């Protein structure tokens, strides 16, 4: 069937409405024919359903592909994703986002699209603010947000983005009536009292025993317990440290201390137990409940704190999520904002 490039669209003669729209939901019917996006047109040309003219000449496939690549930013990326979804039987329509995808068994006119698909190249950094804006847009109309990331060899990885429900069972009081001295050494804090060490470790899964009598605490744990009045922290010269002085010293050791610490506090306040996620390259692994350090359950989440102006390097994000999923955890990003901590959960999905 004959078609023609008009600006950044392709117009196909009128009978295409029946052949392509009614039988496949390609394009949008118009009074003078069927209007296709360049992506739809190249796909139909690949399937040898249409021949496309441009500036009076019929283009071969390579010619059409090159023309589309010039006319449409990120054409190849989007074509790769479109073709993949179409070939796996989904009806796909262009939308405010890159694509709206209909659930299997449904199609335009029958039901609503279920997913908004955003296509990105692995090479382009992805600003967190863009991601949050897209997520809000999808949530507003109750769609699932899908990221389709195309790697340099044109493989596609799909991720869904959503808000997690983090809720734990570790309610106060976890450390009744403790008020104990601790020392801020070079970059960690030690509690010297045996009873307090054991209670903090056993009841709240705070810290790690230095030995059977003494407890080492991380900087975020120490600040939390200092703020709760559980610890009195002294430096090595036996000078007492208030929360502000402690936080300042901790920030010198760990530049991300304040961000991490605000997330740690929020998580503890939600009743979950955050422990270091160093082995997984994340700030925290999180337990919903730890009845005893001798019966540590599976931790379901890895949590990494990022600032609102963060830009995701997608290979780094890919690695983080892949690792989390490989140990049966969800990868959660925690974002301190003026209204508290925002959490987003990004995971691989099969489409």
- Residue ranges binding a copy of itself (CB under 8 A): 46, 61-62, 65-66, 69-70, 73-77, 80, 83, 121-123, 151-155, 157, 183, 185-188, 190, 192, 207-208, 210-211, 214, 216, 218-220, 236, 253-254, 275-276, 278-282, 314-316, 318-320, 322-323, 326-327
> What's the first-to-final CA gap in the chain, in angstroms?
31
Judged by CB, which is closer to a copy of itself: 83, or 114? 83
Rounded CA gap, 326 and 302, in Å? 12
DSSP 8-state class, residue 108:
T
Judged by CB, which is closer to a copy of itself: 17, or 42? 42
> Min. distance of Cβ 122 from a copy of itself in angstroms?
5
> Min. distance of Cβ 275 from a copy of itself in angstroms?
6
Catalytic residue from among 287, 301, 333, 343: 287
Catalytic residue from among 224, 264, 329, 333: 329
Rounded CA gap, 226 and 337, in Å? 23
> Min. distance of Cβ 323 from a copy of itself in angstroms?
4
Long-range contacts of 1-5 (CB under 8 A, 24+ apart): 1/49, 1/50, 1/51, 2/50, 2/51, 2/53, 3/36, 3/41, 3/44, 3/50, 3/51, 3/52, 3/53, 4/52, 4/53, 4/54, 5/38, 5/41, 5/52, 5/53, 5/54, 5/67, 5/71
How, if at all, do strands 301-305 and 282-287 pair?
A: antiparallel
The DSSP string of 32-86 is TEEEEEHHHHHHHHHTTS-EEEETTEE--HHHHHHHHHHHSTTHHHHHHHHHHHH
Judged by CB, which is closer to a copy of itself: 21, or 199? 199
> Min. distance of Cβ 18 from a copy of itself in angstroms?
26
Long-range contacts of 13-21 (CB under 8 A, 24+ apart): 16/50, 19/49, 20/44, 20/49
Judged by CB, which is closer to a copy of itself: 134, or 197? 197
Judged by CB, which is closer to a copy of itself: 77, or 85? 77
Judged by CB, which is closer to a copy of itself: 120, or 143? 120
User: Which residues share a beta bridge with 58?
Assistant: 53
- Residues 53 and 70: beta-carbon distance below 8 Å: no
Active site residue 25: no
Active site residue 329: yes
> Min. distance of Cβ 320 from a copy of itself in angstroms?
7
DSSP 8-state class, residue 345:
E
Q: Which residues are catalytic?
A: 287, 298, 329
């Amino acid at each position: 069937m004959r078609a023609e490039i008009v600006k950044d669209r392709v117009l196909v003669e009128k009978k295409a409405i029946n052949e392509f729209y009614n039988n496949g939901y390609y394009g949008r019917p118009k009074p003078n024919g069927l209007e296709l996006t360049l992506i739809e047109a190249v796909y139909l040309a690949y399937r040898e359903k249409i021949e496309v003219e441009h500036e009076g000449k019929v283009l071969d496939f390579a010619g059409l592909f090159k023309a589309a690549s010039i006319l449409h930013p990120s054409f190849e990326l989007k074509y790769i994703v479109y073709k993949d979804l179409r070939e796996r039987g989904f009806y796909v329509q262009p939308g405010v986002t890159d694509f709206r995808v209909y659930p299997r068994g449904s199609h335009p006119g029958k039901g609503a699209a279920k997913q908004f698909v955003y296509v990105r190249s692995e090479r382009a950094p992805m600003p967190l603010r863009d991601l949050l804006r897209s997520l809000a847009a999808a949530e507003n109309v109750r769609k699932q947000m899908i990221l389709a990331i195309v790697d340099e060899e044109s493989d596609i990885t799909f991720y869904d983005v959503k808000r997690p429900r983090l809720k734990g069972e570790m309610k106060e009081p976890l450390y009744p009536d403790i008020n104990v001295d601790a020392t801020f050494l070079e970059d960690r804090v030690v509690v010297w009292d045996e009873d307090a060490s054991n209670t903090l470790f056993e009841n709240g899964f705070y810290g790690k025993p230095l030995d059977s009598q003494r407890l080492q605490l991380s900087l975020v744990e120490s600040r939390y317990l200092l703020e709760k009045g559980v610890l009195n922290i002294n430096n090595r010269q036996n000078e007492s440290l208030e929360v502000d002085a402690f936080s300042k010293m901790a920030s010198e050791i760990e530049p991300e201390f304040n961000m991490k610490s605000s997330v740690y506090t929020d998580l503890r306040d939600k009743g979950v137990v955050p422990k270091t996620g160093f082995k997984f390259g994340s700030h925290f692994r999180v337990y919903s409940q730890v009845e005893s350090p001798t019966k540590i359950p599976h931790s379901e989440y890895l949590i990494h704190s990022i600032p609102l102006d963060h830009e995701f390097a997608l290979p780094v994000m890919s690695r983080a999520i892949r690792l989390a999923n490989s140990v049966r955890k969800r990868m959660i990003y925690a974002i301190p904002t003026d209204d508290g901590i925002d959490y987003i959960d990004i995971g691989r999905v099969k489409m």
